Every structure is written in C-alpha cells, then in structure tokens.
Amino acid sequence: MRTIIPATALAALFAQGAMAQDFNAAPPNAPGQTPAFEAQTRAPVIDDAMTLNREVIAGGLANPWGMDLLPDGSWIVTERPGRMRIISADGDISNPISGLPEVDSRGQGGLLDVTVADDFADTRRVWWSFSEPRGGGENATAVATGVLSEDGSAMEQVEVIFQQQPAWNSTLHFGSRLVFDETGALFVTTGERSMPEPRQLAQDVGTHLGKVLRIDPMGGAAEGNPDIDGGLPEIWSYGHRNLQSAALGPDGALWTVEHGPKGGDELNRPEAGLNYGWPEVTYGVEYSGGTVGEGVTARDDVEQPVYYWDPVIAPSGMVFYDGDLFPDWQGDALIGGLASQSLVRLTLEDGRVTGEARYLQGQGRVRDVDVDTDGSIVILTDSSNGALVRLTPGG
C-alpha cells in the first residue's frame, strides 16, 4: 500500500499546526529550573519552510519498534508483540520470521530494536533486543543474535548474548537501542525499570539498570571499556533513565536521547565511565508534579546533558542525516518524537545544539528513524496500525 501526500496538502496541514513552529512557547513543567548554559534547552527555532512528501511503504504493522536497512533495499522490522518481518522496497510484508525467543510484551515490553552488521550480505547475522521473561512476573532487557535463513523465513543459530541484571517485576522502561561503534563493539542502552526501588539502581554500577553498555557482538564485555570501581565490565556510562534513542554521530561518538521525567528528556554524548545523574540529578519533575529526589539539576560529579526538553518530546529512534536529498540537513540529528508526534531535527556545532525544528507534528508517534541509500528519510509510526513511511523533500 502506497500513499503519497503531496507537498501542497502537507503545506495545508502545516498551516493548521502540523509544523507549527510554536513549540518553544509551551510553558515548562518545571518553571523554577534554569539551564546550566545558553541554549541547553529551547534552542532557537530553525527557520525552515520545507514541507515533506510522506509515502507509506507498508502499513498495518502492530506497534513497530525497530528497523534496519538490508543490502537488497528491504527493511527488517520488529513489532512489539513479538514479531519480526522483512518489508521489501516495494512494500511487500513477509510472514513473521520464525525461531525468535519468547518475549514479555506486557506494558512497554516486547520485541524492541534490531540491527545488522556491515557484513550482513556474507553472514546474514542479525541482533535484536527484547524484554525477556524470567519467571514469577519478572523480566529484563536481553539481546539475542541469529542467522537469517536464505529465504528470510526463519532465524537460525539463535543465541541470547546479553541479559540485563537484575530482573524486575515491572512492565516499564526496557530501553533499548543497539548501535555498532567504529570498532565493531555493540552499544546496548537500557532502562531503569521506572519504579521507585529499581530506579535507584541507575546509580549502582553493580547492575545493568539505567546504563549504556558496550559488549562484544557474540557476548561478554567489549575490549576497551572503562574500569569503574565495583562496576560490571559491560558498563560504558551510568545514571540514565530510559534510553530509547541512540546513534553514532559524524564525530564517530555515541549520542543518546533518554526519556526523562515530566520535563527532562536528555540529549547526551555518553563518555566512558561517567555519571549522568538519574535519579539524583535531573531536570523536570515527577508525573505527579513533585520534585524528583531533592530537585537537584546540577552537581560537580555529574555530567550535564548537551540539551534537554521541557515539555518533553518522548524520544525514540535517532539518526544523523547523511544523504543527498536534504543537503542543508547534513550532519543534523533526527529524532523520533512520541508525545510530540513529530520528527525532531537538531543542528549542532562544537558539541552544542544551535537550533531545533519539528516536522509532521500531530501526524502520529514516530518510533524510529533511519536514512535510505537514496537519502530519503524512513520512519516507523507507532500504533496498532503502524507504518513504515518514506519522507522526501516537498518544497
């Protein structure tokens, strides 16, 4: 199924607020908090009149969560209830791939991210993250790998290579994105399971909760990880809340965006061994409106976010643009917005955000973002009738 909304129709939607550039006018949830430096929040709105053509490559997907581009131009896509499919460049949707481990799809759980290495054409090896049932109602984020059969119908030689510890009886905050770094190690982002007791473990380096992890693609800690006193060897950074966006930037470094509390989503460039504060230091407030902990937003031993949102965008999925169709966007960060129902674009210079724009506002929750080989932007919309969508310049 293919649906193209022409630029003229999108322009009309934008005039009605689909790209209304008034998001900085919304009142903050934590009005008493002040940023640590200029443009750390509410960066200047990018003056961009561009509209986007929106082409539905494939619809009818059940809460799609993650995707990656395959060498033949097709996409491997996960659906949170526990299905993985191949979607051809022409929009043909395969039957669910067999051979996957059981997932716990309650709440925010299920089948999550998926990625392939550069040598997929030779190895057909795939990695994916999921919420793994551990018995007694407990679960945790896990990562598995397998080899996709030649006909694309089954996952073979499946092995679980990482299991977050400890498991918890929670249906919230699993993370998780998978990103290969330039050395071939695999970054895994996790959540801290949300509840008052486990959230404290984001500060406990003896656990995997609320962490950026860096592992060997076949299991175990990757070489070159920081030596953190008392810390698990897989840990790269800690003090995170719920990391659902991650990508390598043009500088080759990992960048992440995590769900914060009510007013406190964070863009970070996590560095080895450093503490990013949650839940002791954070912007935003509890969903109830109360302070998080003591309401501290800065501390000398804790890293400040590069940027934060209040109100939140509810981030999910991220890519740095590298293509020819949007030459003015080269090197910009593109982030999916769930609560904001938008594609968020950030311009950066010298490690700081210099501008923000939002596209497709009000047209659905954007769960993941990627770039095709032709430079078009591809997104996943998150709903019980989700879609794989191609975006191209409209004017």
The catalytic residues are: 173
d(CA 264, CA 13): 29
The single residue listed with the structure tokens 């794989």 is: 388
- Amino acid, single-letter form, for residue 388: L
349 within 8 A of 343, measured Cβ to Cβ: no
308 within 8 A of 267, measured Cβ to Cβ: yes
185: which residues sit within 8 A by CB, 6+ positions away? Answer: 214, 215, 216, 217, 222, 223, 224
d(CA 9, CA 302): 47
d(CA 88, CA 357): 31
Q: How far is CA 212 from CA 157, 294, 381, in A?
A: 27, 25, 25
Three-class SS of 51-112: CEEEEEEEEEECCEEEEEECCCCCEEEEECCCEEEEECCCCCECCCCECCCCCCCCCCCCEE
Q: How far is CA 90 from CA 57, 63, 347, 372, 389, in A?
A: 7, 21, 32, 14, 12
d(CA 373, CA 131): 31
Buried b (16+ CB within 10 A) or exposed e, 161-197: bbebebbbebbbbbbbbbbbbeeebbbbbbbbbbeee
Which of 194, 131, 195, 137 is CA-nearest to residue 164?
131
303: which residues sit within 8 A by CB, 6+ positions away? Answer: 239, 268, 271, 274, 275, 276, 277
123: which residues sit within 8 A by CB, 6+ positions away? Answer: 117, 147
